[in-house]
């Protein structure tokens, strides 16, 4: 699926169209200064151009329509996925947006006043531009919906917490989820067997404890203010300090701005929030910058230690986002005293680590004797959002029986080698095309043959082209009885040790086949993209239900065949088609892919 990701902030919009299976980008946009006098945008990382738009809504609509217009001709957007920061209690998974969902996002304005209103504005603008595709909300908080109560609850009276929905929600969920999966893939392990601490260190910073695939602790809380020292956000602070500030005369808005914009690395260093500048100044001997780095690293290390305790151990520590991916110094400082828990940094690997999300997403920086793997992983939140949105839509289509497969009934036919063609029709003879078949490159020929069995013969059996490396005669069970041949059920191409027969061409020329007569194993042709959609792999064996009004049937033992040159279609023979009374244009629904017992047996046979 091609998914348009919309990430709309209060004054910016980031958008991209991605392939949900590969993560490949087809186009991207960045719009800045929305709501200011001169908004500007850049498509596909090109030059900035100003947008003539008065107001927030128009700037978003112009930006999104330019993004859609920038797509190559053959790329159409199948769905839009919106990053929504706060899902509150209502959302623990991606959700197709309707009026109720919009209202619920609005109810969460109070929990994320800086983010959710902007996210909803993005949703409304994108609905204007793409009204005919599904829009899905993917929440930053959803990955942390698995936090146990002991991690979720603050020590405040239950009734007050319930009334004001005060609890730990956690953020950066798409990033924590993505890098945990990437780390497990790199370690060639199932994430359900691993305890991973993921450190997202960007402008916003958070840590998560991902135990056996589920988030069980995270450092951001009800809002993204809690936890680590961030670019400008304060992170953990004694609540008594807030009381002191209020008593000192700060009002709520001043306090809000102070905690969100004037603290963190910027507040500690006095030179701004960019870790690169702070590291440079620290190297030149600036005390405040040195201390900023020390406080920052100390806080991360403290969280790593406590999350190892929470999970009763740790298998991997992952660093990601701007600082996590790029600052070897920050990683060195954070990891330098973790040996006691079996996490030993390889200083050279740490210094040399370089990752990018497309070509080199993971770098290992732990030493060989480290029991805990330490990894740098390039995060890709957009890809995770695209995957989650697409998988949700596919699951919905599946559960509503909307994913259908065209079913075609194949009459008896013959595939021939060039040698057999010449044996039947004369030297140098070339098959001639009568009409193309649905599978690309395949065609029915003008030529036919007579298939002769021990009991009887079948005349005018159609030859299908082009020629192949092996002869193959595909007949139904009824044909077998008629001819007197006991042919096995086989996948196409698997003719070894099958019975033979005699073929008669024009002018009485005959060819003796030693083997090649089979009863075709019912199968589905599909492309890798189809396979992704249906959640199956090449050579899986599945069940397909067909309804024909009166003689509905479920076909078990249906073989899946995946190749990029195929076109989605299920092939059954005439006996099977008649049993279900199928007519032209019939469709089937894949109802079960859980055929593992058959799979082993059939795969062996097919191989």
Active site residues: 140
C-beta closer to ligand ADP: residue 122 or 204: 204
- Least distance (Å) between residue 84 CB and ligand ADP: 17
**Rule CB under 6 A: is residue 63 a binding residue for ligand ADP?**
no
Residue 222 burial (C-beta neighbours within 10 Å; 0-12, 13-18, 19+)? buried
Q: Which residue is nearest to ligand ADP (CB)?
A: 322
**Segment interacting with ligand ADP (CB under 6 A) among 45-53, 92-100, 199-207, 443-451:** 199-207
- Least distance (Å) between residue 279 CB and ligand ADP: 6
Q: Which two tokens stand for residue 320?
A: 């990601």
**Rule CB under 6 A: is residue 351 a binding residue for ligand ADP?**
no
C-beta closer to ligand ADP: residue 211 or 279: 279
Closest CA to 483 of 504, 512, 453: 453
**Segment interacting with ligand ADP (CB under 6 A) among 267-275, 341-349, 386-394, 570-578:** 267-275
C-beta closer to ligand ADP: residue 230 or 533: 230
Residues forming a β-bridge with 503: 451, 511
Bridge-based pairing state of the strands 79-84 and 135-139? parallel
DSSP alpha helices (H): ranges in 426-527?
477-483
Cβ atoms of 228 and 262 closer than 8 Å = no
d(CA 216, CA 149): 10
- Least distance (Å) between residue 247 CB and ligand ADP: 33
**Rule CB under 6 A: is residue 231 a binding residue for ligand ADP?**
yes
Residue 587 burial (C-beta neighbours within 10 Å; 0-12, 13-18, 19+)? middle
DSSP string, 522-579: PEEEE-HHHHHHHT--TT-EEEEEE--SSS-EEEEEEEEEE-TT--SEEEEEHHHHHH
C-beta closer to ligand ADP: residue 273 or 297: 273
Cα radius of gyration (the chain):
31
Q: Where are the beta strands (DSSP E) in 272-416?
A: 316-320, 362-364, 373-377, 404-410, 413-415
**Rule CB under 6 A: is residue 274 a binding residue for ligand ADP?**
yes
**Segment interacting with ligand ADP (CB under 6 A) among 77-85, 139-147, 271-279, 415-423:** 271-279
**Rule CB under 6 A: is residue 202 a binding residue for ligand ADP?**
yes
C-beta closer to ligand ADP: residue 176 or 392: 176
**Rule CB under 6 A: is residue 465 a binding residue for ligand ADP?**
no
Residues 293-332, interacting with ligand ADP (CB under 6 A)? 321-323, 326-327
Q: Residues 581, 584, 585, CA angle at the centre, nearest 5°?
A: 110
**Rule CB under 6 A: is residue 361 a binding residue for ligand ADP?**
no
**Segment interacting with ligand ADP (CB under 6 A) among 24-32, 181-189, 201-209, 514-522:** 201-209
329 secondary structure, DSSP code:
H
For residue 405, CA distances in Å to 180, 209, 557 come to 35, 42, 16
**Rule CB under 6 A: is residue 204 a binding residue for ligand ADP?**
yes
**Rule CB under 6 A: is residue 175 a binding residue for ligand ADP?**
no
Residues that bind ligand ADP (CB under 6 A): 202-204, 231, 273-276, 279, 321-323, 326-327
């Amino acid at each position: 699926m091609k998914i348009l990701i919309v990430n709309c902030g209060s004054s910016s919009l980031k958008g991209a169209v991605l392939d949900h299976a590969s993560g490949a980008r087809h186009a991207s946009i960045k719009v800045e200064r929305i709501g200011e006098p001169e908004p500007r945008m850049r498509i596909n990382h090109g030059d900035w151009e100003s947008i003539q738009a008065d107001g927030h809504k128009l700037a978003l609509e112009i930006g999104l329509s330019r993004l859609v217009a920038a797509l190559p001709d053959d790329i159409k957007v199948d769905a839009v996925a919106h990053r929504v920061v706060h899902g509150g209690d209502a959302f623990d998974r991606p959700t197709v947006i309707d009026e109720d969902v919009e209202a619920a996002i609005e109810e969460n304005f109070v929990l994320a006043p800086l983010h959710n209103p902007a996210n909803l504005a993005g949703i409304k603008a994108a609905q204007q531009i793409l009204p005919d595709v599904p829009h899905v909300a993917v929440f930053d908080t959803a990955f942390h919906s698995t936090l146990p109560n002991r991690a979720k609850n603050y020590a405040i009276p239950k009734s007050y917490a319930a009334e004001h929905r005060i609890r730990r929600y956690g953020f950066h969920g798409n990033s924590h989820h993505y890098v945990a999966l990437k780390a497990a893939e790199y370690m060639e392990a199932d994430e359900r067997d691993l305890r991973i601490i993921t450190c997202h260190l960007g402008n916003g910073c958070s840590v998560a404890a991902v135990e056996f695939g589920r988030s069980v602790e995270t450092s951001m809380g009800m809002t993204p203010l809690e936890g680590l020292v961030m670019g400008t956000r304060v992170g953990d602070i004694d609540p008594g300090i807030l009381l002191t500030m209020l008593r000192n005369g700060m009002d709520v808005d001043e306090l809000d701005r102070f905690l969100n914009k004037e603290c963190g690395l910027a507040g500690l260093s006095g030179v701004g929030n960019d870790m690169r500048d702070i590291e440079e100044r620290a190297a030149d001997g600036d005390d405040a910058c040195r201390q900023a780095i020390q406080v920052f690293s100390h806080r991360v290390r403290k969280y790593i230690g406590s999350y190892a305790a929470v999970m009763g151990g740790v298998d991997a520590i992952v660093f990601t986002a701007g600082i996590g991916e790029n600052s070897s110094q920050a990683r060195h400082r954070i990891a330098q005293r973790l040996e006691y828990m079996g996490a030993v940094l390889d200083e050279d690997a740490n210094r040399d680590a370089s990752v990018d999300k497309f070509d080199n997403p993971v770098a290992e920086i732990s030493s060989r004797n480290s029991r805990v793997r330490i990894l740098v992983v390039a995060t890709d939140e957009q890809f995770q959002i695209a995957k989650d949105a697409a998988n949700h839509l596919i699951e919905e289509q599946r559960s509503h029986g909307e994913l259908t497969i065209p079913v075609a009934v194949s009459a008896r036919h013959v595939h021939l080698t060039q040698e057999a063609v010449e044996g039947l029709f004369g030297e140098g003879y070339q098959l001639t095309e009568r009409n193309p078949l649905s599978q690309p490159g395949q065609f029915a020929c003008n030529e036919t043959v007579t298939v002769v069995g021990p009991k009887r013969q079948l005349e005018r059996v159609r030859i299908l082209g082009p020629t192949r490396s092996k002869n193959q005669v595909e007949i139904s069970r009824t044909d077998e009885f008629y001819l007197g041949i006991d042919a096995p059920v086989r996948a196409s191409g698997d003719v070894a040790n099958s019975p033979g027969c005699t073929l008669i061409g024009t002018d009485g020329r005959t060819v003796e086949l030693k083997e090649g007569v089979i009863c075709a194993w019912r199968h589905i042709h599909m492309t890798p993209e189809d396979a992704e959609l249906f959640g199956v792999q090449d050579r899986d064996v599945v069940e397909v239900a067909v309804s024909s009004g009166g003689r509905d049937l479920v076909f078990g033992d249906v073989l899946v065949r995946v190749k990029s040159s195929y076109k989605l279609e299920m092939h059954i023979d005439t006996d099977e088609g008649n049993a279900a009374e199928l007519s032209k244009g019939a469709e089937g629904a894949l109802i079960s892919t859980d055929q593992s017992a058959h799979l082993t047996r059939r795969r062996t046979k097919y191989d």
